[in-house]
Chains A and B, each alone.
Chain A
Amino acid sequence: EPEVTQTPSHQVTQMGQEVILRCVPISNHLYFYWYRQILGQKVEFLVSFYNNEISEKSEIFDDQFSVERPDGSNFTLKIRSTKLEDSAMYFCASPTGPNSPLHFGNGTRLTVT
């Protein structure tokens, strides 16, 4: 079964630092998503990315966040100046085909100290 791969699995950073989370989504699909889950809470939508552009973003996805597809395969989520409340699991997701469910990566656990 095709996989969504995320790196690193765990990132610890100090408040105010920039972090970049990386994802290699299932290839040949144009839609990619980032979600996050704060410990013990629900999985929340952050942003969707279609054809190299942001197509939709949530209220959480403020100016501190950005997404890029730097080289046609990797898909990154950048947080410019991390805050304590950014500590969460961040998941990348993509569909396996048209009208198919999203497959999620195993996530990056971000800890902001």
Chain B
Amino acid sequence: DQQVKQNSPSLSVQEGRISILNCDYTNSMFDYFLWYKKYPAEGPTFLISISSIKDKNEDGRFTVFLNKSAKHLSLHIVPSQPGDSAVYFCAASDPSGTYKYIFGTGTRLKVLA
């Protein structure tokens, strides 16, 4: 039962261009969404989040868009840099219980110099 899905396992982008990572979810009760970046042998690092009352949140080069009717969110990175190369996980906070995070399967982003 995959409640949070990232359908693209990998993405390659040229340096300076936009990276768009996508995420879909199935549970309409989810009300808070996050993006994490992960390097090998490290823990996930928080990037940006969005509450379900908003449709956009921006932080520097990172913007998250939320389309509640489509149950879809995306992360835009502009401009992409080689240091952005990592695995990106979207996560949804489950309000039933203890607000545990449910993660997608991740998208490996490679930014080419």
Contacts and interface: CB of A to CB of B under 8 A. Distances in A.
Contacts, number: 50
Contacts of A102: 46, 101
Interface string A42-67: 11110010100001100000000000
B88 to A, nearest CB: 12
A42 B106 CA distance: 7
A101 B42 contact: no
B102 to A, nearest CB: 7
Mostly, the A contact residues are strand
B103 interface: yes
Interface in B84-105: 89, 91, 97-98, 100-105
Given A45-B100, A56-B97, A106 B34 contact: no
Contacts of B103: 42-44
A55 B42 CA distance: 26
Contact of B104 (A42, A101, A105): A42
B46 to A, nearest CB: 4
Interface residues of B, number: 20
Contacts of A91: 43-44
B113 interface: no
A6 B41 CA distance: 12
Contacts of A109: 41
Interface residues of A, number: 24
B22 interface: no
Contacts of A35: 101
Nearest to B103: A43
A42 B89 contact: yes
A106 B42 contact: yes
Nearest to B47: A101
B12 interface: no
Contact of A104 (B41, B45, B49, B97): B45
Interface of B: 34, 36, 41-46, 49, 89, 91, 97-98, 100-106
Interface of A: 4, 6, 31, 33, 35, 41-45, 48, 50, 55-56, 91, 93, 101-107, 109
